């Protein structure tokens, strides 16, 4: 198993390196001229000379490879530079912004788990029945809803009509309940389906038949099956964690939460490429790491059932 | 196949919803009672009446007409996106999986790197790609999603390419191109339809999210997501204005999802 994990660690490093390249490529793909944008902010109507001056100051006049090199080198040392927009160090802004987003996404992950495990079990145990079919329909509706709309509807129901929650703010854990639900609900559909079908696969497999024939207790069988059925769900949940961080942009805007998503949207509006870089890189790194952790957990849960596959 | 679809109420319902959305898109000028762009500030927030069945928004524009034209705005971007996405991911995945060897291994590594980015993250990062906002949205979604689709297509091609019928074809002297286009692609087509039907619903949601964030189309375009721009104020005064566009998105997305999922059950029956 340690060999497997080592091999994955190697792939992880390759992927992380690729992620830095691709992040830099994505932000440089757009024709947006950050130097010009900053010059406009600074001088209002900049002359060509002033734009060049800003470009030199930002180091954007250097060859692209050199720009990438120095950006990567500094990023590895925890320095993302200063925001073109606010002038403050990006690391400071990132640490402030990542906290609410992570709290929200972690809570959403909890909700997604709490929704998908019982519903998955219910729908597998009553397969073909009314509850199975209603859960299926519920899943289809969930995956057809934009998370920001769920957010507004939750606000409308539980903050405007029934004032249980406050309409904005990110101070106490309670403020994160509605945003986390809005993030979790669209994710639940896929998770329920995956868990349902792997539970059914598990219960229909030969080892369960054999265990039953030997008179193993149902409780032990459930334990066996869950070892078999949980890995796909864990993979899905890990992936949805990353999707939820990316989707936080909309939900944060609904609930006025100053998180990573809002930071990215502000930076996009201000053409603040260096901040965009940092936000995208951070989200991708979190995504990759969470998937990696899920892989390791799965390898631990079910050591045999491991075929190739990526991160 | 078609008979199987017709025997599934879920597929028929999905298909009917899809057709209705397409119909609304094509015939928007016929259905819409008013011009969706017609400003009439004196007439803002008018209650529903005969001329404005759902009332008017803060600029006095007819809500119903904007919802109807919203189908047009959304699908006129979603369909080209889907087409481009389908072509690119199918071609790349089929090529890599069918040729195999080093090319396929390279695809694995590259796709791992591309898949390190959640699609929506890439899509909003790339949004300023072109002068034309519609073209930027199309291309950014394609760049964001191609690899996720290509991975699925690749799995299906890999499964087919070693089937006995492929080997038989090759022995009987079929050219490789013929094998791919006449045998493999038709065989995996139902799976592709599942992928692209559900994919269209996520594209519709993505487009509305763009507009919601203010990164979407030109300001003022009648688009479902864009109707949430003043949501923070509307939620107290006119909450129904936030309900309508969401229901439209739900209807359109659910139609494609119902159909796609029913098709998935036909291809690979769900137990139960």
- Is residue B272, in this structure, part of any structural domain at all? no
Distance CA A153, CA A268 (A): 27
Least Cα separation, residue A209 to chain B (angstroms):
18
Looking at CA atoms only, how far is residue B40 from chain A in angstroms?
27
Give how far A31 is from chain B: nearest CA, Å. Answer: 6
Report percent pLDDT > 70 for chain A. Answer: 95
Quick check: is B238 in a domain? yes
Q: Is residue B18 part of a domain?
A: yes
- pLDDT tens track for B205-244: 999 988 888 876 777 777 888 888 777 777 777 888 888 8
CB within 8 A of A107, min separation 6: which ones?
A173, A176, A177, A180
pLDDT at position A306 is: 46
Over range B23-33, report the average pLDDT.
83
In a domain, B200, yes or no: yes
Q: What does the pLDDT read at residue A307?
A: 46
Q: Which residue has the higher pLDDT, B217 or A131?
A: A131
| Residue B34 within a domain | no
The domain tally of chain B equals: 1
Residue B88 located in a structural domain = yes
Q: What is the pLDDT of residue B150?
A: 93
Q: What is the ipTM of this complex?
A: 0.88
- The verdict on residue B45 lying in a domain is no
Residue B132 belongs to a domain with what CATH number? Answer: 1.10.3720.10
The C-alpha atoms of residue A28 and residue B126 are separated, in whole angstroms, by: 9
Tokens of A202: 């598990």
In this prediction, residue A173 carries a pLDDT of: 81
Domain that holds residue B14: 2-26+56-267
Does B237 reach chain A within 8 Å, measured CB to CB?
no
Question: What are A212's two structure tokens?
Answer: 């039953």
CA distance A155 to B231: 11
Question: How far is A243 from A283, CA to CA, in rounded Å?
Answer: 9
Q: How many residues does chain A have?
A: 311
Residue A96 has which token pair? 């402030």
Please write the tens of the pLDDT for every residue from A89-100: 889 999 999 999
pLDDT value of residue B256 = 93
| Residue pairs spanning A and B at CB distance below 8 A | 157
Q: For position A310, what pLDDT does the model report? A: 36
Q: How confident is the model at residue A1 (pLDDT cuts 50, 70, 90)?
A: low
Q: Do B209 and A148 touch (CB under 8 A)?
A: yes
| Residue B208 with chain A: CB contacts under 8 Å | 146
pLDDT beyond 90 at A105: yes
Name the pTM for this structure. Answer: 0.87
Highest mean pLDDT among A44-53, A247-256, A295-304: A247-256
In a domain, B95, yes or no: yes
Which one of A169-173, B77-81, B169-173 scores highest in mean pLDDT? B77-81
What integer pLDDT is reported at residue A169 of this predicted model?
67
Closest CA to A263 of A243, A285, A278: A278
Write the pLDDT tens digit of every residue in A40-64: 777 777 777 888 888 877 777 778 8
Give tens-digit pLDDT for B121-134.
888 888 777 777 88
Cβ of A87 under 8 Å from any chain B Cβ? no
């Amino acid at each position: 198993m340690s060999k497997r994990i080592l091999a994955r660690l190697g792939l992880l490093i390759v992927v992380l390196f690729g992620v830095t390249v691709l992040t830099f490529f994505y932000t440089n793909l757009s024709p947006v001229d950050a130097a010009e944008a900053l010059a406009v902010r600074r001088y209002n109507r900049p002359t060509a000379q002033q734009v060049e001056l800003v470009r030199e100051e930002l180091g954007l006049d250097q060859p692209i490879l050199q720009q990438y090199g120095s950006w990567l080198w500094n990023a590895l040392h925890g320095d993302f530079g200063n925001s073109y927009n606010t002038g403050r160090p990006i690391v400071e802004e990132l640490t402030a912004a990542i906290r609410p987003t992570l709290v929200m996404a972690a809570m959403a992950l909890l909700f997604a788990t709490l929704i998908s495990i019982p519903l998955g079990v219910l729908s597998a145990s009553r397969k073909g029945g009314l509850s199975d079919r209603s859960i299926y329909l519920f899943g289809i509706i969930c995956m057809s809803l934009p998370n920001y709309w769920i957010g507004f509807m939750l606000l409308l129901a539980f903050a405007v009509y029934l004032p249980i929650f406050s309409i904005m703010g990110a101070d106490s854990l309670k403020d994160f309940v509605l945003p986390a639900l809005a993030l979790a609900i669209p994710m639940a559909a896929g998770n329920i389906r995956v868990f349902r079908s792997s539970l059914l696969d598990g219960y229909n497999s030969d080892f369960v038949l054999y265990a039953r024939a030997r008179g193993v207790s149902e409780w032990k069988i459930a334990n066996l099956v869950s070892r078999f059925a949980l890995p796909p769900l864990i993979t899905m949940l890990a992936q949805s964690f990353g999707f939820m961080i990316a989707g936080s942009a909309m939900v944060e805007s609904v609930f006025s939460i100053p998180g990573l998503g809002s930071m990215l949207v502000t930076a996009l509006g201000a053409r603040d490429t260096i901040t965009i870089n940092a936000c995208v890189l951070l989200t991708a790194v979190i995504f990759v790491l969470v998937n990696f952790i899920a892989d390791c957990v799965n390898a631990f849960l079910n050591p045999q059932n491991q075929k190739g596959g990526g991160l | 196949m078609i008979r199987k679809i017709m025997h599934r109420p879920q597929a028929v319902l999905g298909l009917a919803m899809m057709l209705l959305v397409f119909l609304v898109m094509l015939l928007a000028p016929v259905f819409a009672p008013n011009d969706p762009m017609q400003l009439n500030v004196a007439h803002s927030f008018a209650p529903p009446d005969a001329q404005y069945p759902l009332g008017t928004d803060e600029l006095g524009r007819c809500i119903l007409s904007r919802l109807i034209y919203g189908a047009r705005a959304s699908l006129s971007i979603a369909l080209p996106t889907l087409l481009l996405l389908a072509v690119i991911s199918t071609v790349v995945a089929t090529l890599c999986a069918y040729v195999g060897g080093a090319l396929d291994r390279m695809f694995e590594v590259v796709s791992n790197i591309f898949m390190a980015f959640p699609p929506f993250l890439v899509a909003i990062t790339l949004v300023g790609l072109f002068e034309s906002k519609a073209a930027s949205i199309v291309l950014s979604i394609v760049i964001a999603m191609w690899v996720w689709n290509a991975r699925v297509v690749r799995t299906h091609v890999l499964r087919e390419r070693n089937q006995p019928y492929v080997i038989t074809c090759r022995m009987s002297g079929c050219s490789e191109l013929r094998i791919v286009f006449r045998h493999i692609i038709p065989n995996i087509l139902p799976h592709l339809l599942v992928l692209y039907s559900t994919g269209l619903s996520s594209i519709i949601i993505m487009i509305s999210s763009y507009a919601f964030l203010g990164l979407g189309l030109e300001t003022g375009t009648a688009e479902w997501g864009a109707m949430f721009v003043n949501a923070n104020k509307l939620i107290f005064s006119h909450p129904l204005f936030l309900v309508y566009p969401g229901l439209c998105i739900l209807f359109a997305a659910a139609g494609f999802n119902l159909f796609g999922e029913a098709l998935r059950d036909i291809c690979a029956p769900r137990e139960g």
